[in-house]
Each structure stands twice: as structure tokens, then as C-alpha cells.
Chains A and B, each alone.
Chain A
Amino acid sequence: MRLGNITLALILLAIATTATVFGSTAMNNTVSYFFILVVLVVALGIYVGNTGIVSFGHPAFMAIAAYLTAILVMPAARKSALLPNLPDFLSTFSAPPLLGIVITVFVVGLIGAGIGLAISRLNGASATIATLGLLIVAHSLLVGGTTFTRGAQALYGIPKLVSPISAAIGAIITIFVADWFKHSRWGLAARAVREDEAAAAASGISIKRNRTIVFCLSIAFTALGGAMFALHLGVFSPKEFYFTLTFSLLAMLIVGGASSTAGAVVGVAVITMITEVLRQAEPGFSLGPIQIPALFGLTTIGISVALILTLYRRPEGIFGLKELDDFLPFDIKPRVYKRSVINTPRPTASQTPKSIRVQSLTKRYGGVTALDAVSIDLQQGEILGLIGPNGSGKSTFLSCASGIQRFDEGEVWVHDTQMAQGNPVAYAHNGVARTFQNIRLFARLSVAENVSAAMVSVPGPANSPTVADILTRVGLDGMALRTASTLSYGQQRRLEIARALAICPDFLLLDEPAAGMNSTETDDLAALIMSLRDENGLGILLVDHDLPMILRLSNRVAVLNEGKLIALASPEHIRENPEVAAAYFGEGQSTLSE
């Protein structure tokens, strides 16, 4: 239980109590509605904040929930008058309100899981448009589905049961769950995916499954908000749940800060205040001698301007990525995440040494053959250098051999498993970790979270190193709480290696880890790479342009030129190989060592 949340809960309860004791009915209504909006916006934030994908579709689920609650909770006599075509089991049944809410949350949550499964297959922009489509589909179903709704007409006579206190309790539950989820292993993984999909997949995070879980939870709480909405207003029609509401909810979320639970609450407060003030002004008013005319839609203008100003000035919202805890005067400790332990530990290096075997790999881009039947195998406990001139296919090879890219012909075996193409998650779970040529960190997460995200996603043996151990190993101890993007270049490179180590790999594929480093940093890196081989028995594929380093560290060196493997031998042989020298320097130079 975190202090920021408790503070927030106490504030909300205080508001609710004050309204109940002192407020008028109108005041009570406003306060209850405010809490319902908090539920809806925090629920929307569970998806939008953690995944970074905007959803326009949430009000669709809210609408389904509102109708479902209304149908469940309304007295049977009124139901048969308003909705004569309801199936019997619904028309004769009248649930107590709490049961109605629970059924609604459960049923709509399940629908959310199903839709989430489909939406999760799409990337950001496409997913957003698909949710937009969902909103239109749901709206037209509600208007057309007159068995369960009254079409475009309002459904009325739903018991109004929501009080400020009960609404505040709903809001507090939602806030606690949202905050717990954000820092749970699934929430952490979702935020990692938000920061960098490719790196998250290479760290063993199953993106589709993760997003489905996030969507489902977010929809379940949206359903809670929808149910409360129905029991608060007592009367509504499908148009309540269309673009106006979608827009307000998104504006509240963005103005407050999509990635922050406390921010969502503040966003609701700010937009609610703007709306209430402008609503007074909407019919026109006189300012001294000047008569301001009526402006229908002034509230919409107010919300739009607030949103645009936020996006111009502070795109991450008022709270940014911070929570209330970050402002309270207490020490923050990095959250400790636990790895899920596998009972049958992977055979260690002393038993059967493993290998990655790449067999006649061919990759073509249009008419260009980037890799031409390349076969390389990598053993545990060795460093295999991979060199070649620019454009020789090194990065393509590494991408194909780590599941990031698909290829045209050939096979990749990790130990005794033939790997499916284009599935980096499976590689991570089979003990293959990699780094990227252009550093790909989870930029806005902390150093500890970068490593933890990978650690929680791949099960490992019980005695495997903790996050702190790994950070010490790569020389980043004491930096656990720093945001990854604020690290220096060399530190970022090392954090990438730390994240790769977090999945307890047997193999480590390093794509130009020394690029851009000065000589001291390169020496530190070389020492680290050697110790990973000698102490941990990792098999390391090292792609780099730093020939002296490669020749010094590697047990064997492979040379690619124009997509063909032209040599694979010990560093001594490579140094004297005339074909390699010709590839690098053109004809005339007979060996690299000259």
C-alpha cells in the first residue's frame, strides 16, 4: 500500500463526506458524477497509459455496461412496459444493485477480453482506428437493437442509487487497482512494450497476450463506471456514449497525464471545473456594459483549448509520468520484482554444452541477396566474432538469428529446438538474448525497471541473479532509480547488456556494442564480455567494426562479404587470410595485419 494512494483516497473521501453533510442535492450530483468520471478516466488510463495506444472505444463498453446494469436492476414491471421484447430470463429477473454491478463488470470484462484479443494483433495507429470503428459499431447496435434498448430514445426509470460516498468508494477501488496493476509484472511489461516493441519482444515479453490482459482489465473497470453511470443518472440514451463523451474522457486523461493514476484524477478535476464554469457562461451573460452572446458548445471549446494547450506545452500532461509518491517527502526504494522460478533448471554448461546452429540462411530484399546460404554455429562458452564491410549482412544475420526478421530459406536451431520465424519472444524464452545496434532501451522507465521487465517475463532457475546483482555486474550499481534516457551513452550500452542478462540467457548476441565508445569504455566492455564467457559460460556472438577488439576477444571469427560467408576460422588465420583483406581493403593488400 503506497502513501500517495492513501493520501488520494483520504482526499476523495473527505470531498464525499463534505458533500454528503453540507451539500445540496445538485452539489451531491456533481460530486457523484465527478467520482464516476474518475472511475472511467482511471480505467481508460489503465489501457492508454500503460500501452501508449489511444482508445476511442471505451465508451462503447461503458454503454453496454450501462444498458446491462439498467436491464438487470430495473423493477420487472417497468421493464415489461419499456422493453416488451426482452427475453424472459431478463424481463422477469430483477437483481439487487450490487449483484447487477458485479454481473455487469464480469460480462463486459469478458467481452473486453474477446475484443482485446483481436485489437492486440494491431499496432498503435491501426488499433486506435479499430477502436474508433468499435465505437461506431456499438452505437449503431444500441440504436438498432431495440430488443434490449429503446433505440435512439432514452431508457428511463432506472433506480438512482449512487451517493457521493458509494461513488467515492468505486473511485478509490479503481485507483488502487490501477496503481497496483501499473506496477505489477503485467503493467511493467506493458509499459516496456509502450517504450519499445522490438526490444520488449526480444526481452521475452509476449506483446499480444500482454495487451489483451491490459485491455480486459481496463474494460472491466470501464464497465464499473458504466454501471455507476446508469445508477447515477437513471435515464440515458445511446448518444450519451458517443464522441462527445469519448472526447471529454480522453481530454481529462491527457490533461492530467495518461501514464499517471493521480494525474488522471487531477485531469478529471481540471476539466470538470472548466466545464462547470463555461456551462454557466454558455447562454450568454453581460460583462458590465458588454453583452456576451450565447455560444452553444462553449464547453467543447474550453475542453479543446485545454487539450491543445496541454499537447503544445506539456504533452505528457500535468503529472507527466510521476505519481503522488514522487512529490511526497519520503524515500523511494526501487520496487523488487520476482522472477518466476522454473523447477527443472536448464542444464548448465558443465552438462551438455548448447549451441545455436544457423543452417544455409538466405535472405533477399527484392532483388538483393543480403544473406546467401550462410551457415554458422555458436557454442556455449565461446566468443564468435562476426565482421565484414558495411552492408555485408551482419545486422541482417543477427536479426534473422534472433527471430526479429523473417528469412527466405534456411533453418535456425537453438540447442535441439527448430525456431519458428519472426518470433523473437520464443528466442528469449529459449535462452537467446540480444542487444541492438541503435540502442533500444525502455527510455522512460527506470534502470531497475528496464532490467525487471525482462526478468519477470522469462522464468529462470531459483538461484539466478537479482536485478541488483545484474546492475552491479555491468557497473550500474547505485543507478537503479535513474530514468534510462538520462544515462550517458556508455551507460545505456551497458544497461542494454544488463537487460539481456536478465533473462538468464545461454547466448548473447551483441550488435556493435562498442560503437561510439571511447577507448576506456571499450576496454571495460571487453572485460565484461570476456567475463561473461569465462565465468558464466555464455556463447557470445559479437558483431563490431572494432577489428582489434574482435581479434583479441574472439575464439573464432566469421567474415561476411556481400552476403556470403567467406571465412570462419581462428583470429590468427583470419588475420592472414588474403580473401578477408581483399574484402576490406580491395585487391593488393594481402593480409589484415599489414
Chain B
Amino acid sequence: MEVFAQQALNAIALGGVYALLGLGLAMVFSVLGMINFAHGEIMTLSGYALVFVATTLGWPFGLAVISACLLAGAAAAMTERIAFRPVRGASLTTMLLTTFAVSSILHVVFQNFISPRPIAVPVPEWLTQSLNVGGLQIGTLQAISIAVSLVALIGLVGFLRFSTLGLAMRSAAQDFSVTRLMGISADRVIIGAFAISGLLAGLSGFLWVAQRGSVDPLMGFVPVLKAFTAVVLGGLGSLNGAVLGGFLLGILEVSLRASLPQELLPFRDAISLSIVIGLLVMRPQGLIGRAEAVR
């Protein structure tokens, strides 16, 4: 029972990170129809920013996290302005390959101008401790992961529900052309979507980096690819689906890690991804999918 509760917490913590990543991807996809591979590099960038602010500038860790997130948001908005605007409204393929190329360029930039090797992150000691709650060992980081994910999700729901820009973004996710007909500026909605997705990437970057203790040029790539499969499983273009998919992936990975026999452990990514693809093939529209009317 205790083991189960422990693993359940692990699953929620990991799922929360995937959900944050997936939500950022889904925000951009639902507004623009763009599969954004550069999302992982924004996550990596926030890791580097965290190291820079905390170590080089010597600011307190909490402040460093906040500035890293803000920087990630700004960087995501900048990628849109500089690299993605020329292909806005182009085909899915064109947009996807553009983001892939931008992601590759950012890899090389990180490798050459920062370091090809992992850089240690000064994770404060209190983050690595654990609390004993009724016989359960809860890592501080784990608790923070869960709390941050939940607060971010609730904050985002509040923003989308109660702010004007949020309402515009929700309607853009439903039907962007009609939203523009209502006189809402496309640029504002799109930049907003990128900035929020960057913020979320920054948050998940912090959680990821704090877990691993280091940041390297390719850090964001694989988690974002996994988050993508989660988003697609949840239902491409649906924000709720992205969150659902993220948590499912987290649960899947943690339960595989806990239950697979030793000799199969090297295959755990292969197994979890195969399961996700298998589920997707059974439900091609995703778990929360929508079919579009044909006229």
C-alpha cells in the first residue's frame, strides 16, 4: 500500500511535467496548427538561464526560477516573431519542418556557445530532502512538482476562462478564422499562445533540471517528443486532452519502471511509447478528439 502510494505520487509528479509540456504544445497547435519541435529547446534554454542567474549572478534560487520562466516565455515569443511568422498559415508539413530546423540550429548554438557537456545546476539542499508524512517519504521536489503543475494548470484555466485574451485564445483554438472575423488581432493571440507555451516549458524545464541536477544541449528534445505522443493520444488540438495525455504517460512510465523485470528495463521507453501508439491506433481521434464537419 505504501509502495503503491509512493509510486502514485511519482506518477503524478512525472505526469505533471508531461502535462505542462503537452499543454504548451497544444496551445500552439490549437491556434496555429503548428507542431512545434523547438519547444524542447525553450525548455533547455530555461535550464541554462536558471544556472546563469543562480550561479553567475548569484541571485536566490526562487528568483532564478521565476526569471528563467519569464525568459523562456520571451524566447518562445521571439522564435515566433523571427522564425515562424513567415510560414504562418502554411501547410502542416512546412510549419513542422521549419520548427524542426530551428530546433536543430538551437542545438548547435547551445553546443558551441554554451557547452557540449552537461552543466551542473546548483539545486539548493532543501529541494533534495524529503518529508515523512504518515509513513510516506515525500521528496520536497516531488511535492513541489505536483504543486507547481497543479497551480500552473489552475492558473491557466483561470486565465483562459476569465481574461479577454484567454477567451480570445479559447475561441481561436475552436476556429481561428471566425475569431479573426470577430476583430481579434491574430498577432496578439499567436504571440500570447507562444509566450504561455514558453512559460510552461520554462516551468517544466525547472522541474526536469532540478530532478537531474544538470542541463545539456539535448535535454529538452526527448521529453518533448514524448509529450507530443501524449498530446496526440489525448486528442490533438484539445487542451484538456493534452493534460490527460500527459498524466497518462506519466502513470504509464512510472508503472513500467516499477513493474518491469530487470532485463526488460532498457526497453521501457520503447514499451511505453509502443503502448501509446497502440492506444492511438485504436482511437485515431485521440481520447478527447473532435471530428470536423465536411461540406
Name the CB-closest residue of A to B222.
A136
Q: In the complex the two chains form, is B35's CB within 8 Å of A125's CB?
A: yes
Q: Which of B92, B97, B222 has the most CB of A within 10 A?
A: B97
Q: In the complex the two chains form, is B98's CB within 8 Å of A144's CB?
A: no
In chain B, residues 100-114, which have Cβ atoms closer than 8 Å to a Cβ of chain A? Answer: 100-102, 104-105, 107-108, 111-112
With A52-B93, A122-B284: A311-B228 Cβ-Cβ less than 8 Å: no
In chain A, residues 274-329, which have Cβ atoms closer than 8 Å to a Cβ of chain B? Answer: 295-298, 300-301, 303-305, 307-308, 311-312, 315
Task: Find B90's partner among A129, A308, A315 (CB 8 Å cutoff).
Answer: A315
Q: In the complex the two chains form, is B236's CB within 8 Å of A136's CB?
A: no
Task: Find A144's partner among B107, B116, B221, B266 (CB 8 Å cutoff).
Answer: B266
Q: Say how far A185's CB is from chain B's closest CB, in angstroms.
A: 25
In chain A, residues 9-50, which have Cβ atoms closer than 8 Å to a Cβ of chain B? Answer: none
Provide the bound-state CA to CA distance between A54 and B35, in Å: 12
Provide the bound-state CA to CA distance between A53 and B93, in Å: 7
Name the CB-closest residue of B to A395.
B295
Q: Which residues of A contact B102 (CB under 8 A)?
A: 304, 308
In chain A, residues 88-142, which have Cβ atoms closer than 8 Å to a Cβ of chain B? Answer: 118-119, 121-126, 128-130, 132-134, 136-137, 140-141
Q: Say how far B111's CB is from chain A's closest CB, in angstroms.
A: 6
Q: In the complex the two chains form, is B111's CB within 8 Å of A311's CB?
A: no
A404 interfacial contact with B, CB 8 Å: yes
Contact with A along B240-279 (1 / 0, CB 8 A): 0000000000000000000000000011011001101110
Task: Find A311's partner among B35, B92, B98, B222 (CB 8 Å cutoff).
Answer: B98
Q: In the complex the two chains form, is A296's CB within 8 Å of B97's CB?
A: no
Number of residues from A at the complex interface, CB < 8 A: 52
Q: In the complex the two chains form, is B269's CB within 8 Å of A136's CB?
A: yes
Q: Say how far B219's CB is from chain A's closest CB, in angstroms.
A: 14
A254 interfacial contact with B, CB 8 Å: yes
B83 interfacial contact with A, CB 8 Å: yes
Q: Which residues of B contact A52 (CB under 8 A)?
A: 91, 93
Q: Which residues of A contact B35 (CB under 8 A)?
A: 125, 128-129
Provide the bound-state CA to CA distance between A130 and B266, in Å: 21
Q: Say how far A59's CB is from chain B's closest CB, in angstroms.
A: 14
Q: In the complex the two chains form, is A140's CB within 8 Å of B83's CB?
A: no
Q: Which residues of A contact B93 (CB under 8 A)?
A: 52-54, 254, 258
With A122-B281, A140-B270: A311-B87 Cβ-Cβ less than 8 Å: yes
Q: In the complex the two chains form, is A308's CB within 8 Å of B98's CB?
A: yes
Q: Which residues of A contact B107 (CB under 8 A)?
A: 297, 300
A443 interfacial contact with B, CB 8 Å: no
Q: In the complex the two chains form, is A297's CB within 8 Å of B112's CB?
A: yes
Provide the bound-state CA to CA distance between A250 and B231, in Å: 23
A229 interfacial contact with B, CB 8 Å: no
Q: In the complex the two chains form, is B277's CB within 8 Å of A130's CB?
A: yes
Task: Find A132's partner among B228, B269, B286 (CB 8 Å cutoff).
Answer: B228
B229 interfacial contact with A, CB 8 Å: yes
Provide the bound-state CA to CA distance between A253 and B51, in Å: 39
B122 interfacial contact with A, CB 8 Å: no
B94 interfacial contact with A, CB 8 Å: yes
Provide the bound-state CA to CA distance between A140 and B229, in Å: 16
Provide the bound-state CA to CA distance between A52 and B91, in Å: 10
Provide the bound-state CA to CA distance between A298 and B111, in Å: 11
Q: In the complex the two chains form, is B273's CB within 8 Å of A133's CB?
A: yes
Q: In the complex the two chains form, is A144's CB within 8 Å of B281's CB?
A: no
Q: Which of A53, A121, A298, A308 has the most CB of B within 10 A?
A: A308
A359 interfacial contact with B, CB 8 Å: no
Number of residues from B at the complex interface, CB < 8 A: 49
Q: Which residues of A contact B293 (CB under 8 A)?
A: 399, 405
With A141-B270, A312-B87: A54-B108 Cβ-Cβ less than 8 Å: no
Q: In the complex the two chains form, is B112's CB within 8 Å of A132's CB?
A: no
Q: Which residues of A contact B277 (CB under 8 A)?
A: 118, 130, 133-134, 137
Q: In the complex the two chains form, is B295's CB within 8 Å of A297's CB?
A: no
Q: In the complex the two chains form, is B270's CB within 8 Å of A437's CB?
A: no
Q: In the complex the two chains form, is B97's CB within 8 Å of A250's CB?
A: yes
A518 interfacial contact with B, CB 8 Å: no
Contact with B along A529-554 (1 / 0, CB 8 A): 00000000000000000000000000
Q: In the complex the two chains form, is B294's CB within 8 Å of A405's CB?
A: yes
In chain B, residues 141-198, which have Cβ atoms closer than 8 Å to a Cβ of chain A? Answer: none
Q: In the complex the two chains form, is A304's CB within 8 Å of B104's CB?
A: yes
Q: In the complex the two chains form, is B281's CB within 8 Å of A121's CB?
A: yes
Q: Say how far B48's CB is from chain A's closest CB, in angstroms.
A: 17
Q: Which residues of B contact A300 (CB under 8 A)?
A: 104-105, 107-108
Q: Which of B93, B101, B108, B229 has the most CB of A within 10 A?
A: B101
A352 interfacial contact with B, CB 8 Å: no
Q: Which of A124, A126, A136, A307 has the most CB of B within 10 A?
A: A126
Q: Which residues of A contact B276 (CB under 8 A)?
A: 133
Provide the bound-state CA to CA distance between A521 and B31, in Å: 39
Q: Say how far A181's CB is from chain B's closest CB, in angstroms.
A: 20
Provide the bound-state CA to CA distance between A54 and B94, in Å: 10
Q: In the complex the two chains form, is B267's CB within 8 Å of A140's CB?
A: yes
A436 interfacial contact with B, CB 8 Å: yes
With A118-B281, A141-B270: A437-B112 Cβ-Cβ less than 8 Å: no
Q: Which residues of B contact A295 (CB under 8 A)?
A: 108, 112
A8 interfacial contact with B, CB 8 Å: no
With A122-B281, A125-B236, A250-B97: A296-B266 Cβ-Cβ less than 8 Å: no
With A140-B266, A311-B90, A315-B90: A126-B280 Cβ-Cβ less than 8 Å: yes
Name the CB-closest residue of A to B101.
A304
Contact with A along B112-123 (1 / 0, CB 8 A): 100010000000
Q: In the complex the two chains form, is A137's CB within 8 Å of B86's CB?
A: no
With A130-B280, A300-B108: A399-B294 Cβ-Cβ less than 8 Å: yes
Provide the bound-state CA to CA distance between A129 and B234, in Å: 13
Q: In the complex the two chains form, is B273's CB within 8 Å of A311's CB?
A: no
Q: Say how far A22's CB is from chain B's closest CB, in angstroms.
A: 36
Provide the bound-state CA to CA distance between A304 and B273, in Å: 28
Q: In the complex the two chains form, is A125's CB within 8 Å of B232's CB?
A: yes
B8 interfacial contact with A, CB 8 Å: no
Q: Which residues of A contact B232 (CB under 8 A)?
A: 125-126, 129-130
B225 interfacial contact with A, CB 8 Å: yes
Provide the bound-state CA to CA distance between A122 and B91, in Å: 18
Provide the bound-state CA to CA distance between A436 and B293, in Å: 12
B96 interfacial contact with A, CB 8 Å: yes
Provide the bound-state CA to CA distance between A73 and B119, in Å: 43
Provide the bound-state CA to CA distance between A262 and B274, in Å: 36
Task: Find A438's partner among B87, B97, B108, B295 (CB 8 Å cutoff).
Answer: B295
Q: In the complex the two chains form, is A312's CB within 8 Å of B86's CB?
A: yes
A198 interfacial contact with B, CB 8 Å: yes
Provide the bound-state CA to CA distance between A140 and B278, in Å: 17
Q: Which residues of B contact A132 (CB under 8 A)?
A: 225, 228-229
Q: Which of B90, B107, B116, B286 has the most CB of A within 10 A?
A: B107
Q: Which residues of A contact B281 (CB under 8 A)?
A: 118-119, 121-122, 130
A566 interfacial contact with B, CB 8 Å: no
Provide the bound-state CA to CA distance between A119 and B266, in Å: 25
Q: In the complex the two chains form, is A437's CB within 8 Å of B295's CB?
A: yes
Name the CB-closest residue of B to A53.
B93
6 extra A-B contacts, CB within 8 A, seeds A134-B277, A141-B267, A295-B108: A133-B273, A136-B270, A144-B267, A395-B295, A399-B294, A438-B295
* Chain A residues in the interface with B (C-beta under 8 A): 52-54, 118-119, 121-126, 128-130, 132-134, 136-137, 140-141, 143-144, 198, 243, 247, 250-251, 254, 258, 295-298, 300-301, 303-305, 307-308, 311-312, 315, 395, 399, 404-405, 436-438, 511
Query: 17 A–B contact pairs at CB < 8 A?
Result: A53-B93, A124-B92, A126-B236, A128-B92, A130-B277, A132-B228, A133-B225, A136-B222, A136-B225, A144-B267, A254-B97, A296-B111, A301-B105, A304-B102, A308-B102, A311-B101, A315-B90
